Amino acid sequence: MSDRAPGTIARNGTSVPATGRHRGSVHIHRVSVSFAHLLVVDDVSLTVDQGEFVSIVGPSGCGKTTLLNFAAGLLPADVIRGTYLVGGKPPESGNRDIAYMLARDALCPWRTALENAELGAEIRAVPPPERRQRALDLLDKVGLKGFEHAYPKALSQGMRQRVALARTFSLDAPILLMDEPFGALDAQTKLQLEDVLLSLWQRERRTVVFVTHDLSEAVSMSDRVVVMSARPGRVIADVKITLGRPRSVRALQKDPAYHELYSHVWTKLEEGLAP
């Protein structure tokens, strides 16, 4: 249903150089993960296409973050069985096709907002004028114009997470991996930042894999919501979210179609939790 959106801008948006149609996709086929004989993820298959916004929801410990960390190359290859391809390649740390965002902002307190927004591109050796321009542009887009030279201690939690968003989006990676990026924020700030994230995503339509335990967040932002069971995590539902684009998370709060989808996903999640 996302085709309904006026945004024909983007499947192969200019800012994402597409080298082959796999570059922005995540392909998980019959993947199981175990740590020291503890089965964490059990036979999960999941494909995220280029430009898709997919959320993975599930109770704590269901292995959703493990799946994400694996994609980012943060886990050793020997803990999994099955096929896992990120942008058509096996996961590796430092993959330039990936930008990763954590639950905590992970800003460097000794860097200004601008320097923090530039950090990722700096490590990936993007030339200074280019990365500065991108960082300035993104700080503007996340609503931090005028705070470029503020240090994190002077910023609120919400503002700090906006800087982290800017840092993530200023990488030219086609795949964005987000691990509960708004989990530590209060409800009001969270809604604001969800809209900021959607507006950034709407411009370029990069692939997003978004891990959360907040159903409303998943339903309101995603094209698809993947529901996982309690440990060992299995996929128990893959629900298409047939809400139009572009969306406003705040406006959706009063939309009956949204609430219907929400209760549908909630039912699936409850089924998964039932013994």
Partner 1 sequence: MTDRTTTWTTPQLWAGRIAILIVFFFLWERAAASKFIDPILIGRPSGIAAYLWAEIFITGSLIKDLGWTMLGTILAFLLGSACGILVGMVFVTRPTVEALLSLILMALNAMPRIALAPLFLIWFGLGLGSKIAIGFSLTFFIVLSSTVAGGRGVNPDHITLARTLGASEEQIFRKFVLPSAVPVIFNGLRLGLIFALLGVVGGEIIASEHGLGQTLTVLAASFKTSGVFAVIILLALVGVCITWGMTWLENHLLRWR
| Residues in touch with partner 1 (CB under 8 A) | 72-74, 93-96, 98-100, 102, 104, 106, 108-111, 119-120, 122-124, 151-153, 171, 177
Which residues pair with residue 209 across a beta bridge?
Answer: 54, 177
Residue type, 193: L
- Nearer CB in complex with partner 1: 105/217: 105
CA 109 from chain centre, in angstroms, equals 24
| Residue closer to partner 1 (CB basis): 9 or 106 | 106
Q: How far is CA 200 from CA 81, 94, 102, 138, 208, in A?
A: 35, 23, 17, 9, 11
Is the CB of residue 72 less than 8 Å from the CB of residue 177?
yes
**Smallest distance, Å, CB 85 to partner 1?**
17
- Min separation Cβ 153 and partner 1, Å: 7
CB of 150 to partner 1, least distance (A): 10
**Which residue from 217, 152, 206 is spatially nearest to 180, judged by alpha carbons?**
217
Rounded least distance, CB 24 to partner 1, Å: 17
Residue placing its CB nearer to partner 1 in the complex, 102 or 236: 102
Q: Which is nearer to partner 1, 177 or 269 (CB)?
A: 177
Token readout for 10 is 């983007």
Enter the tokens of residue 157.
Answer: 């939690």
Nearer to partner 1, 123 or 257 (CB): 123
Q: How far is the CB of 157 from partner 1 (least distance, A)?
A: 15
Residue 208 tokens, joined: 């997003």
Residue written as token pair 């994402």: 16
Cβ proximity to partner 1, 65 vs 222, nearer residue: 65
Q: How far is the CB of 249 from partner 1 (least distance, A)?
A: 26
Which uninterrupted H or E stretch holds 66?
Answer: helix 64-71
Cβ–Cβ contacts within 10 Å for residue 126, how many?
A: 18
By C-beta, is 113 or 197 nearer to partner 1?
Answer: 113
Q: Please tell me whether residue 55 adopts helix, strand or coil conformation.
A: strand
Nearest distance in Å: CB 102, partner 1 = 6
Output the six-digit token pair for 198: 């959607």
Q: Please report where in the chains the tokens 């801008």 appear, as a residue.
A: 9
Contact partners, residue 7, CB within 8 Å, separation at least 6: 202, 205, 245, 246
